[in-house]
Amino acid sequence: AILLQGQTGSGKTAVYLNWLESILKQEQAQVLILVPEINLTPQLERRIHAYFPDRRMAVLHSGVSEKQRGLAWYEAMTGKAQIILGTRLAVLTPIPNLRAIVVDEEHDTSYKQQEGTRYSARDLAIWRAHDQHIPILLSSATPSLETWMAAQAGRYEYIRLDQRAQGASLPSVHLINTRDPQSQFSPGDSGAPIQRSLITKTLSHAISKTLDQKKQCLILINRRGYAPVLNCTACNWLSKCTQCSACTVMHKAGALGRRPVLSCHHCGLVKPIPSFCPDCGNIDLKALGHGTQKMEDAIEEMWPQARVLRVDTDSSRKSKGAEALFQEIHDGNVDVVVGTQMIAKGNDYQNIGLVAVLDADSRLYSADFRAAERLFAQLVQVAGRAGRSGTNGEKGGEIYIETQYPESPVFQFLLRHDVDGFLRFTASEREEARLPPYSYQALIHAEAKSLDKAIQFLNELKDKLKARTSITKALRVYDPVPKPVMRVAGSERAQLLIESTNRKALQETLEIVDQELRQDSQGRISNRSRVRWLIERDPIAI
Ligand SMILES: [Zn+2]
Ligand SMILES: [Zn+2]
């Protein structure tokens, strides 16, 4: 495999298209290009068309009609299409003369199917290339830790593109410490909002300035309802687990007890929510990310004359579709865009002057040990977008990140645009905590009418596993916990984490678990308790 690493705008696409061109010169050759979310990247589709005007391309993704998908499948299978472009579902397309595979944005979590049959399209693509003895190229500005380590160790060929194309400059990154009174409005300030502001004074001045310059502002928020980490508004205390290195998260009353509790999704520790800060005694403890939901209203209140567009998966699905929304931004019909990470994916906006990230903390500190890696990748991507508007010698965009923890390594490496430094740091942290890729994990998922049932099912399984000494020696079996998104379509879900530094031992145990559970199940629903179960290897989210 080859890792192609370079910043946004460094010309990665041109490099792999050029690489594919030489391969397509072979008789009847076919190539497969995988992208994370194709309905967001019609630009790439057009670009491939323009680069290979004489080649036939088949496009496969969930946004294409069933009939068209069938046709694309047929053209790939019969060798009629030379280029097969698609999302994760395209990875298993039958392609008789497949000569090369490209996985674009290889770090993107969209490659992993999280519901139903769980698989990682990137890993399947690597396996397929290996199996068929063909080259595979993984492309990213922020490679996943696993891929980066493979390249560093020389197991992958490594191509670096560190120059940004067309003299585009890197955007400047500003960290706003939300604890610093200097950055906040004080009563009587001109332009201060009536209520306590969700937006700092520093950021609101920057937004006003950008709007005055007739440039657009992009404000990123996260709206997924994950269980939040608790934090102290006076000091830096976070609800870290006392048993392991993860953060504990809040669960409402009823989920794990009669009162609301803090629970660790890594080791299963459950604790009552403290009524005051254990470090400083402050009683004002809040959930991280508190209040971001109201962000849009706050913006409309502070800049009533600005045209605000809200973009998220819901709004793009419901109304005009993603591309129409992006077109509006391109055409300059909006001044402020408020939306989730998807607005920053694969789109080039020419007139973005400012990008703000308001709830970085709630994404940095969560139950998942990969949260920092993911946030860093997103911020680098956002920075890449903002920098692009700075072509033709113009100044790049400005990035503002509001955080209570500006000293955090994620932000410090971002300030220096130091991707390798961040990955090196993350690798050493994982090694110390014995987390993947320095250990291997599996999750057993359980889904039932009530959480109690799901937890009980997993507890019984855990006890069975612990009774075998051969297993307890090589593996760590944690306590079952509710899933981050616990309730889905009328059922409640829990999970059990198994961890080992020995992949083979883990694999063997999972086979035993699978066999035993199957004996007592119809399909994957247990006969006795009617719990639906599933084994997931190498989960990307805990
Ligand atoms: Zn405190
Ligand atoms: Zn823990």
Give the model confidence (pLDDT) of 212-253 as tens digits. 999 999 888 765 556 788 988 888 899 988 887 778 888 776
What is the 418 CA–ligand 2 centroid distance (Å)?
A: 30
Q: What is the CA(264)–ligand 2 centre distance, in A? A: 5
Among the bound ligands, the one closest to the CA of 265? 2
Q: Which ligand is nearest to the CA of 231?
A: 1
Ligand 1 centroid to Cα of residue 431, in Å, is 30
235 CA distance to ligand 1 centroid (A)? 4
Q: What is the pLDDT of residue 256?
A: 64
Neighbours of 540 (CB within 10 A): 17
Taking the C-alpha atoms of residue 76 and residue 92, their distance in angstroms, rounded to an integer, is 11
Q: Tell me, in angstroms, the distance from the centre of ligand 2 to residue 268's CA.
A: 6
CA–centroid distance, 490 to ligand 2, in Å, is 28
Q: How far is the CA of 147 from the centre of ligand 1 (A)?
A: 39
Q: How far is CA 452 from CA 288, 339, 458, 490, 494, in A?
A: 27, 36, 10, 14, 9
CA of 499 to the centre of ligand 2 (A): 13
Q: How deeply is 474 buried, as exposed, middle or buried, from its count of CB atoms within 10 A (0-12, 13-18, 19+)?
A: middle
- Contact between 411 and 504 under an 8 Å Cβ cutoff? The reply is no
Q: How many A from CA of 219 to the centre of ligand 2?
A: 33
Q: Which residues of the chain have pLDDT under 50?
A: 319, 389-391
Site of tokens 């040990």: 369
Distance 271 CA to ligand 2 centre (A): 11
Which ligand lies nearest the alpha carbon of 235? 1
Ligand 2 centroid to 451 CA: how many Å? Answer: 20
Closest ligand, as measured to the CA of 271: 2
How many whole angstroms from 414 Cα to the centroid of ligand 2? 28
Distance in Å, CA 283 to ligand 1 centroid: 8
CA angle 108, 112, 118 (to 5 degrees): 175
Alpha helices for 434-468 (secondary structure H): 451-466
Ligand 2 centre to CA of 376 (Å) is: 23
Distance CA 120, CA 106 (A): 11
Q: What is the DSSP letter of 229?
A: B
Distance 404 CA to ligand 1 centre (A): 13
> What is the predicted pLDDT for the residue at 394?
59
The amino acid at 443: L
Long-range contacts of 448-451 (CB under 8 A, 24+ apart): 448/491, 448/492, 448/529, 448/530, 448/531, 448/532, 449/490, 449/491, 449/492, 449/530, 450/492, 451/255, 451/256, 451/482, 451/486, 451/492, 451/493, 451/494
The confidence score (pLDDT) of residue 292 equals: 57
Residue 517 C-alpha to ligand 2 middle, in angstroms?
Answer: 27
Six token digits for residue 500: 């080992």
Ligand 1 centre and the CA of 230: distance in Å?
11
Angle at 393 between CA 392 and CA 395, to 5 degrees: 115
- The number of the ligand nearest the C-alpha atom of 476 reads 2
Tally of CB atoms within 10 A around 264: 24
Neighbours of 190 (CB within 10 A): 5
Q: What radius of gyration do the chain's Cα atoms show?
A: 24
Report how far ligand 2's centroid is from the alpha carbon of 375 (Å). Answer: 21
Q: In Å, what is the CA distance from 521 to each residue of 461, 514, 527? A: 14, 10, 5
Q: Exposed, middle or buried: residue 339 (CB in 10 Å: 0-12, 13-18, 19+)?
A: buried
The answer to whether 41 touches 97, Cβ cutoff 8 Å, is no
* CA dist., res. 223 & res. 48, Å (int): 33
Q: What's phi and psi for 62, nearest 5 deg?
A: -70, -15
Helix orientation angle between 503-519 and 451-466, rounded to the nearest 10 degrees: 120
CA of 258 to the centre of ligand 1 (A): 26
Going from the Cα of 394 to the center of ligand 2, the distance in angstroms, rounded, reads 48
Per-residue pLDDT tens for 106-118? Answer: 999 889 877 667 7
Cα 131 to its chain centre, rounded Å, is 28
Distance CA 502, CA 407 (A): 35
Distance 111 CA to ligand 2 centre (A): 28
Spacing, Cα 242 to ligand 2 middle (Å)? 6
The amino acid that residue 162 corresponds to is: D
The domains of the chain, with CATH numbers, are 2-163 (3.40.50.300), 166-222+289-430 (3.40.50.300), 230-287 (no CATH), 440-537 (3.30.70.600)
Is ipTM over 0.85? yes
Instruction: For 299-344, give the DSSP string.
Output: HHHH-TTS-EEEE-HHHHHHSS-HHHHHHHHHTT--SEEEE-GGGG
Say how many Å lie between the first and final Cα of the chain, rounded: 28
Cα 236 to ligand 1 centroid, rounded to whole Å: 6
Dist CA 187 CA 506 (whole Å): 59
Q: What is the distance in A from the centroid of ligand 2 to the CA of 525?
A: 29
411-448: b or e for each residue (b if 16 or more CB lie within 10 Å)? bebbeebebeebbbbbbebbeeeebbeebbbbbbbbbb
Closest ligand to residue 242's CA: 2
Distance from Cα 318 to the centre of ligand 1, integer Å = 43
* Contact criterion met (CB below 8 Å) for 284 and 233: yes
Q: Which ligand is nearest to the CA of 279?
A: 1
Spacing, Cα 57 to ligand 2 middle (Å):
49
Give me the pLDDT at residue 348, please: 66
| CA 287 to centroid of ligand 2, rounded, Å | 18
How many CB atoms neighbour CB 205 within 10 A?
Answer: 11
The pLDDT assigned to 284 comes to 87
CA of 231 to the centre of ligand 1 (A): 8
Distance, CA 54 to ligand 2 centroid (Å)? 56
